[in-house]
Amino acid sequence: MKKITILACLFFAVVSNAQDKRPDNWFNLDSEKDNVNGVGTERTYEELLKGKKSKTIIVGVLDSGVDYMHEDLKDVMWTNPGEIAGNGIDDDKNGYIDDIHGWNFMGSKDGKNVEKDNLELTRVYKSLKAKYDGKTESDLTSKADKKEFKFWQIVKADYEKEKDQAESQANQYRFIREAVGSVVDKIKKEKGVEKVTLEDFKKFDAKDQKDKQGKMIALAQGASGMEVEDLLEQLDEALAGMDGSRLDVNADTRAIVGDNYNDITEKYYGNGDCKGPAAFHGTHVAGIIAATRKNGLGIDGVADNVKIMSVRCVPDGDERDKDVANAIRYAVDNGASILNMSFGKKYSPGKKVVDDAVKYAESKGVLLIHAAGNAADDIDEVIHYPCKKMENGKVPSNFMDVGALSWKPGDEIAAPFSNYGKQTVDIFAPGVDIHSTVPDNNKYKDASGTSMAAPVVAGVAAVLKSYYPELTPKQIIKILTKSSVKTYKDKKVIKPGSKDEMIEFSELSKTGGIVNLYEAVKMAQSMVKVKG
């Protein structure tokens, strides 16, 4: 999910040709007072929660890692009270040595870490290819093998399609990088400057077609608020992620970890480096939930009294089911009340072990908030894993799927990349051009994706749990969905993934609603009073 989110953000920004810019901190603003589709965070603290007491709760960020030394996060990081940093001893005897701010299930005991991994599609393709490549259904005798062979044909077609799309996308990004980069170089040479501004692009006299296209793209980016240097950086990151490892059947990145990967019951592996080598995604998510409020730095997170536990289980590529299951259990066992899961994939050979971990979290009263995904798919039809529906057909009471919302009004309100589903997606939340923390040197950047929408909901849920700790996951989900703003419910919006196909916003989720902290707190107050 990590790299997909970055690419979704980049694609959206390049093609949108926006003529205006999102308001700063828009996800915390209010639809009524500020006329933007935020969740009403600031209004809630000012009008409903001022002077009220709250309980500190732990939110587990299951992701690529979190920069726990970031200026806006260091004061809100969970610190294991039973562990002594750096002594190489499992002081609290929880099975994890030096797990100070969380744990890393993608690392080795000697400190090495997995950064890139292949897609689950690649791993499934490789395992089935060894068994069925070159065979026909007539070569098989058992019903089980014939059934699996049909699945192999689906996987093979999907893999080949993915390879073609990856090559096409890489070519597209290379062209954009070369076109914009060429104009930047020419402007620098002509004007003798080190940094090129939007005004420089406007004045640049583009003579050939490639320069004209590079100028057009840069101006579109500038209109949407992204600096040219940031565009080039994101393109370079995107291209670096397209090195082929995702689809490389011979890649063996798991060897770094040193676990017995086939033993899905194995729990005690990894290391305490819960930041890891590529913490952009997880750091951005953590900031949305809980960046220190009112400290005069960067941004304000949604929740004001939480601690962030970083559990690293998401690589640049697809997460592995064993790691996800262990990450859920680790966070639950170490006190997290809410887990944010901004990741997902198309295949899940170890779904049962994840289902069991979800049920474990449910039994412990822990709420799971999951990003719906960025493929503009109807996930009622195209399953996005992990999914709330279990192998036995049951649906747990502690699992939410979140779609992404744009700050733009009217028919552009649904993010063009967001997955949706009338039966599967519970709610929509801000997920386009979200400004948040990023790792190293205390930086902040915009990113887009359902990966950004999920932590907005996790932050709202964390506020409810913090101020009304007696609420159960089932009650919190009920509050979030019933109190969601239905302004757009019966209005036509542009369907995600299309240019101009219109659909009622109510068809994109169960509720047709947008999460709203102000309304959620009012409902929570009422529910707690009635209960008392």
Domains observed in the chain: 29-117+262-531 (3.40.50.200), 120-245 (no CATH)
- Mean pLDDT for the stretch of residues 87-102: 96
pLDDT digits (tens, 9 = 90+) for 209-255: 988 998 888 888 776 666 787 788 878 877 876 767 789 999 888 99
Helices (runs of H) and strands (runs of E) counted in the chain: 13, 11
- Mean pLDDT for the stretch of residues 173-185: 90
H/E element holding 310?
strand 306-312
Residue of 236, 263, 440, 490 marked active site: 236
Tokens of 202: 């406007």
Q: What is the DSSP letter of 36?
A: S
Question: From its phi and psi, is residue 433 left (phi > 0), alpha (psi between -120 and 50) or beta?
Answer: left
pLDDT recorded at residue 225: 64
- Mean pLDDT for the stretch of residues 455-481: 98
Q: What is the mean pLDDT of the chain?
A: 92
How far apart are the C-alpha atoms of 252 and 414, rounded to whole Å?
Answer: 38
How far apart are the C-alpha atoms of 94 and 109, rounded to whole Å?
Answer: 16
pLDDT recorded at residue 5: 42
With contact defined as beta carbons under 8 Å apart, do 345 and 379 qualify? no
pLDDT of 11 higher than 70: no
With contact defined as beta carbons under 8 Å apart, do 286 and 308 qualify? yes
With contact defined as beta carbons under 8 Å apart, do 75 and 437 qualify? no
Selected residue with higher pLDDT from 166 and 380: 380
Beta strands in 406-489 (DSSP E): 427-430, 434-438, 443-447
pLDDT > 90 fraction of the chain, expressed in percent and rounded = 76
* Residue 70 falls in the annotated catalytic set: no
pLDDT recorded at residue 16: 42
Closest CA to 281 of 497, 66, 131: 66
| Residue 19 pLDDT level (bands cut at 50, 70, 90) | very low
Residue of 245, 451, 483, 484 marked active site: 451
pLDDT of 282 higher than 70: yes
| Residue 78 pLDDT level (bands cut at 50, 70, 90) | very high
Q: For tokens 């940093």, name the residue.
A: 85
pLDDT recorded at residue 481: 98
Q: For tokens 């005690």, name the residue.
A: 268
3-state secondary structure 348-412: CCCHHHHHHHHHHHHHCCCEEEEECCCCCCECCCCCCECCCCCCCCCCCCCEEEEEEECCCCHHH
Closest CA to 37 of 411, 462, 523, 495: 411
Tokens of 142: 């058992």
Beta bridge partners of 514: 428, 485
Closest CA to 257 of 98, 120, 421, 115: 115
pLDDT recorded at residue 530: 60
CA 205 vs. chain centroid, Å, equals 40
How far apart are the C-alpha atoms of 118 and 241, rounded to whole Å?
Answer: 11
With contact defined as beta carbons under 8 Å apart, do 482 and 492 qualify? no
pLDDT digits (tens, 9 = 90+) for 502-521: 999 999 999 999 999 999 99
pLDDT of 121 higher than 80: yes
φ and ψ at 93, to 5 degrees? Answer: 55, 40
Tokens of 258: 């040193």
Beta bridge partners of 504: 492
How far apart are the C-alpha atoms of 228 and 236, rounded to whole Å?
Answer: 12
Q: For tokens 């899905």, name the residue.
A: 264
pLDDT of 14 higher than 80: no
How far apart are the C-alpha atoms of 315 and 101, rounded to whole Å?
Answer: 19
pLDDT recorded at residue 224: 63
How far apart are the C-alpha atoms of 220 and 291, rounded to whole Å?
Answer: 30
Pairing of strands 434-438, 427-430: unpaired
pLDDT of 31 higher than 90: no
Q: What is the DSSP letter of 291?
A: P
Compute the CA torsion angle 415, 224, 6, 167 (nearest 10 deg).
90
| Residue 532 pLDDT level (bands cut at 50, 70, 90) | very low
- Mean pLDDT for the stretch of residues 73-102: 97
Residue of 101, 281, 370, 384 marked active site: 281
- Amino acid of residue 259: D
CA 329 vs. chain centroid, Å, equals 20
SS3 label, residue 503: strand
Cα-based angle 5, 6, 9 (whole degrees, multiple of 5)? 85
Query: If you compute the radius of gyration of the chain from its CA atoms, what whole number of angstroms results?
Result: 23
pLDDT of 336 higher than 80: yes
* Residue 236 falls in the annotated catalytic set: yes
HSE on the CB side for 457, CA within 13 Å? 40
Q: The pTM is what?
A: 0.91
pLDDT recorded at residue 20: 62
SS3 label, residue 440: coil
* Residue 316 falls in the annotated catalytic set: no
pLDDT recorded at residue 10: 46
How far apart are the C-alpha atoms of 14 and 353, rounded to whole Å?
Answer: 39
Q: For tokens 């901004």, name the residue.
A: 342
DSSP-assigned letters across all residues of 172-240? HHHHHHHHHHHHHHHHHHHHT-SS--HHHHHH----SHHHHHHHHHHHHHHHTT--HHHHHHHHHHHHH
Does residue 386 have a cis bond before it (omega within 30 degrees)?
Answer: yes
